[in-house]
Structure formats: C-alpha cells, structure tokens
Amino acid sequence: MINELIEMFSNDFMIRALIGGTLVSLCASLLGVSLVLKRYSMIGDGLSHVGFGALAVASAIGAAAPLQIAIPVVVIAAFFLLRISENGKIKGDAAIALISTSALAVGITVASVSGLNTDINSYLFGSIIAMDTGDVVFCSILSVFILIMFVFFYNKIFAVTFDENFARATGTKAGVYNMIIALLTALTIVVGMKMMGSMLISSLIIFPAVISMRVCSRFKTVIITSASVSVLCFFIGLTSSYTYSAPTGASIVIVNMIALLIAIVIGKFVKKRR
Amino acid sequence: MGVLIECKELAFSYEDVDVIKDLSFTISEGDYLCIVGENGSGKSTLTKGLLGLKSPDKGKIIFSDNLKKKDIGYLPQQTPAQKDFPASVFEVVLSGRLNSRGLRPFYSKADKMTAHENIHKLGIEELMKRSYRDLSGGQQQRVLLARALCAGKKLLFLDEPVTGLDPIVTEEMYRLIEDLNKTDKITIVMVSHDIKSAARYATHILHLNSEKSFFGTTQQYINSPLGQYFFGEV
C-alpha cells in the first residue's frame, strides 16, 4: 500500500495534481458552506459553465494563458449572477440556468468548429495530467489568497450567511461581503476547473458542505469538517483515479457521494441520541 | 426625555405604489412604540426606512446625535434558511457584536463578555452550546433577541417578534420585552399584527392606514376613531 503510494507520487504530474487539488478542495469546501447555506449552490454550477465557455473561446483564439483570461470573465459573471439571485423580481434560478447552458453551448460550438475536439473532454470532465508547473504555481498563489481572505473575513461571512438583513440593518456592509464571497468562488472555480472539469467542479463546493452539515451542529465545526472531508475525499479520489485510470473529477465526486451516504447514516444516529 | 428619531412628512413607495404618504412621528428615549396596520399598509417598508435600508421618496428621518448606528439592535423576521442553520447559540449571539468591530477580523474578550451577559439576561445559559436549528421557535427568538442586544443597547427594533409562537411563549416574549423597556430603559419599536397586545404594553401607537394613519399615545389611540373600531366603546 505504502509502496504503491510512493510509486504513484514519484510521477511529477501526480505531485502537481496533489498540490493543486488539495488547495482547490480546501478553498471550495470553505466557501461551499456559505454558498449552500445562502441557497447559492446554483451560482457555483452556473459559474463553472461560464468558465468552460471562456476557457474554450480563449483556447480557440490561441491565447497563451487561457486560464488567466477566463478569470475576469468568470468574476464578472459571478457578480452578475449574484445580482440576479438577490433581485427577487427576476426568476433567479431560471436566469442562472439560461446563462450557464448558453455559455456551455457557445463553448462547445467554438471548441468543435475551431478543431479543439481532443481538449473538450478534459475541459468538461477534468484530467489528472492537465496541470503543468505554471498552473500549479498560479493555482497555489490564488488558493493561498482565497484562504487568507476567508480567515480574515470569517466572522463577517458567518454574519451575512446567517442573517443578511440583520447584518445590513446594524451597519455591516453585507453587499460588499456577498461580493467577496462571489469573487472568491469565481477564483476557486477557475483554478479547479482544469483538473475537476467544468461539469463537476461545483461538486467540490457543494458535497463537503452538505456532508459536514449532516453531522455537525456548530458553524466552526461545520467549516473544519467540511475542509477535512473535502481534502480526504480528494486524496482518495485522486489515487483511485490513478490506480483504475478513471477520470479524476468523476472519481472524486463518487468518493464524495459515498461520504455523503455515510454522513446521512451517522446524522440519523446522532439525532436519535440527542 | 430626548427625542431619538424624528420623522417628518415621510413618503415611501413600494414597486411604484405609494404605500406611505405624509407620515410624521417621533420616537423618544424610553418609548415603547408599536407600529400596527393591515397587510400591505407599509409596516415593513417603514421598518426598512427606519433601519436605513431604504430611503424615503419624500420627507426626512432625523436621527438624534446621541443615537449611532451601533446603538440600534434589530430582531428581524426569521428566514426559511435560518431554521436549519448549523450554528451554536453562542456563535449566533456573538455575531451581534460585528458592527462594533469595523475591519478588525476577530472578536475581543470584551465582545465575548457582552455576549455572555446578554445570554444570561435572557436566561438561555443552558442553551449556549446547543445548535440553533435544534431549538424551539420561542428559544430561537430569545437567542435572536440576545444577539440584538449585543448589537445595540439604546433602541431595539422588533419585527413581528411573536409570529408563529404559541400563546404561552408569546406572553413570555411580551413580558421580556416589557422588562427590557422598563428595567433596562431600552427604547422599543415593535412592528406587530396584534393590536390588542400592542395596546396593552406600548406607550405609543402608530397605526398605518391607507387613508389616515394614527400616531399618539396608547390612551389617545383607544379613544380615536381607529381605536374605537378595534376596541369598541370604552
């Protein structure tokens, strides 16, 4: 077992995947708690599709750094989707679905017309060898930035997640912190998309949060559990993806799925004892 | 007793419909003001205006110099998302201190002390480590009231604080609020559906009405035509 792991991580691409993936899982799981509780899960999903569209278009026009080009597009989309969700007058969920499918359609069309067919699969479903050294460095810097921002704004994020009206009324600029959450989410999605694939990246945001909420009852423990579960599931998913040559993103989601089933059972048990 | 908030000739509209026209009233220190009115009479719009979340189309809301934003506590209506929110009671109460933190990221010892004091005041010590989502409706309201007290000690805005509570818990809640007003000298502004209870506890009544709103002391209200409609001949 140990030997197999050592052999596995003697490959440079595995080390890169491990570093990048762990950091992305960590960021996604922290933000995910707030997004799920605020009923913003769909924003994560919508953003990943917008990210795919941006990435496909950027690759098609031969941009040197498609990932970096995707960032501003996804950040703008994040603010836009947030606005839609906050504005009760438009049907928010429908609007998000419209935007995300449109972006997906544009991305796929542009990619196939320009002959990028081989890459489409890895953009959509992720790939273990997708990350080069530049990507890992880029991803690490962004992840560390996201983590620091999260810790710094932790109490504010709690307040606007639990009760935005109260925060606003007592003088906290809830709008600003919503924007920060949206910005950090957009960054996390772009950074994680190459490995997880844009179809599945939102699972990294949603699964750990839902899993930890099943078993924990305090916000701080929910956050810590969510982060731990996310990193653990990522590691198991990554190694099994290598062992069985399965798609990375899908393997990680399946591990998360199993973890959720276990959490549901544990949650039932904990509730009974209370 | 000094005036805390003075409202002059306010007008508000909601989705292009005028809901409040030409409304003037004052809130003074130590008052217990109840804002009553039918659905759609503009209660929540006015609350938003008083909390500074919505600016009036016409007129002015003048805050006295000794009423800062961080002197105001607020008990909002619960949102569906909150009902199953995984947070401990202490975490929720402590979050009331946020408005006095500014950009500083973490709570101080003094903030935690204040949270403990308010938890003690509302008699919810034994719930402190429990999860908010496992509490009953009345317990949750107490927790949110403790949080409101952490946010501000001069003026409390209560938005329909007894909605969904059973009669016994409702009565307890009213007593608690009365106690905060009489013993701790906190000015209370309460939005309510329940005109009869409002008249029992409040010192002043603001009855929003599409034709003619009423503002005055509770006694004046009971003798007014609007009051007569609800209370009959006295």
Closest CA to A16 of A181, A119, A129, A167: A129
Chain B residue numbers with beta carbons less than 8 Å from the beta carbon of A167 are 98
Mutate to test the interface with A, among B53, B67, B85, B133 (most CBs of A within 10 A): B85
Confidence at residue A229, expressed as pLDDT on a 0 to 100 scale: 96
Secondary-structure percent of chain A, ordered helix, strand, coil, rounded to 5? 85, 0, 15
Low-confidence winner among A108-122, A185-199, B175-189, B208-222 (lowest mean pLDDT): A108-122
Confidence at residue B42, expressed as pLDDT on a 0 to 100 scale: 84
Confidence at residue A48, expressed as pLDDT on a 0 to 100 scale: 92
In tens, the pLDDT along A45-76 reads: 899 999 999 988 888 887 777 778 889 999 99
Confidence at residue B34, expressed as pLDDT on a 0 to 100 scale: 93
- Considering only residues A257 and B49, tell me which one the structure prediction assigns the higher pLDDT: A257
pLDDT band of A272, cuts 50, 70, 90: low
Q: Which of B53-57, B174-178, B226-230 has the highest mean pLDDT?
A: B174-178
Confidence at residue B234, expressed as pLDDT on a 0 to 100 scale: 47
Chain B residue numbers with beta carbons less than 8 Å from the beta carbon of A178 are none
Q: How far apart are the first and last CA of chain B?
A: 30
Closest CA to A200 of A251, A242, A235: A251
Residue among A152, A155, A222 minimizing CB distance to B86? A222
Confidence at residue A117, expressed as pLDDT on a 0 to 100 scale: 60
Task: Report the amino acid identity of residue B119.
Answer: I
Confidence at residue A68, expressed as pLDDT on a 0 to 100 scale: 81
Confidence at residue A273, expressed as pLDDT on a 0 to 100 scale: 60
Confidence at residue A228, expressed as pLDDT on a 0 to 100 scale: 96
SS3 B72: strand
Q: What is the mean pLDDT of residues A202-208?
A: 93
Nearest C-alpha in B relative to A171:
B99
CB pair distance less than 8 Å for A39 and B85: no
pTM of the model: 0.88
Can you point out the beta strands (E) in chain A?
Answer: none
CATH of the domain at A267: 1.10.3470.10
* Residues from B in contact with A at Cβ < 8 Å: 51-53, 69-70, 72-74, 76, 79, 81-82, 85-88, 91-92, 95-96, 98-99, 101, 105-107, 130-131, 133-134, 147-148, 151-152, 157
Count structural domains, chain A: 1
Chain A residue numbers with beta carbons less than 8 Å from the beta carbon of B89 are none
Residue A31 has pLDDT above 70, yes or no: yes
Q: Looking only at Cα atoms, what is the longest distance across chain A?
A: 60
Helix (H) or strand (E) holding B215: strand B214-217
CB pair distance less than 8 Å for A274 and B96: no
CB pair distance less than 8 Å for A220 and B96: no
Chain B residue numbers with beta carbons less than 8 Å from the beta carbon of A171 are 69-70, 99
Mutate to test the interface with A, among B95, B131, B158 (most CBs of A within 10 A): B95
φ, ψ of residue B184 to 5 degrees: the values are -95, 0
Closest CA to A162 of B170, B166, B90, B46: B90
Q: What is the ipTM for the molecules in this complex? A: 0.87
Compute the half-sphere exposure of residue A16: CA atoms within 13 Å on the CB side of its CA: 19
In tens, the pLDDT along A112-137 reads: 888 766 567 777 887 777 778 888 88
φ, ψ of residue A120 to 5 degrees: the values are -55, -45
Residue among B72, B74, B95 minimizing CB distance to A162? B95
pLDDT band of B57, cuts 50, 70, 90: confident
Are B218 and B199 spatial neighbours (Cβ–Cβ below 8 Å)? Answer: yes
Q: Looking only at Cα atoms, what is the longest distance across chain B?
A: 58
Confidence at residue B143, expressed as pLDDT on a 0 to 100 scale: 94
Q: How much of chain B exceeds pLDDT 90, in percent?
A: 35
Q: What is the mean pLDDT of residues A236-256?
A: 91
Are B188 and B159 spatial neighbours (Cβ–Cβ below 8 Å)? Answer: no
Residue among B53, B81, B82 minimizing CB distance to A169? B53
- Considering only residues A53 and B2, tell me which one the structure prediction assigns the higher pLDDT: A53
Domain residue limits at A147: 2-273
Mean pLDDT of chain A: 88
Mean pLDDT of chain B: 87
Confidence at residue B58, expressed as pLDDT on a 0 to 100 scale: 86
Helices marked H in B33-107:
43-50, 80-83, 89-94
Strands B17-28 and B32-37: unpaired
From A4's Cα to the closest Cα of chain B, the distance in A is 40
Residue A89 has pLDDT above 70, yes or no: no
CB pair distance less than 8 Å for A37 and B81: yes
Q: Which of A91-95, A148-152, A196-200 has the highest mean pLDDT?
A: A148-152
Q: Which of A226-235, B60-69, B189-198 has the highest mean pLDDT?
A: A226-235
Q: What is the mean pLDDT of residues A235-258?
A: 92
Bridge partners (DSSP) listed for residue B6: B26, B62
State the DSSP code for B133. G
In tens, the pLDDT along B107-120 reads: 999 999 999 999 99
Are A47 and A185 spatial neighbours (Cβ–Cβ below 8 Å)? Answer: yes
Q: How much of chain A exceeds pLDDT 70, in percent?
A: 96
In tens, the pLDDT along B224-234 reads: 887 777 776 54
From B69's Cα to the closest Cα of chain A, the distance in A is 6
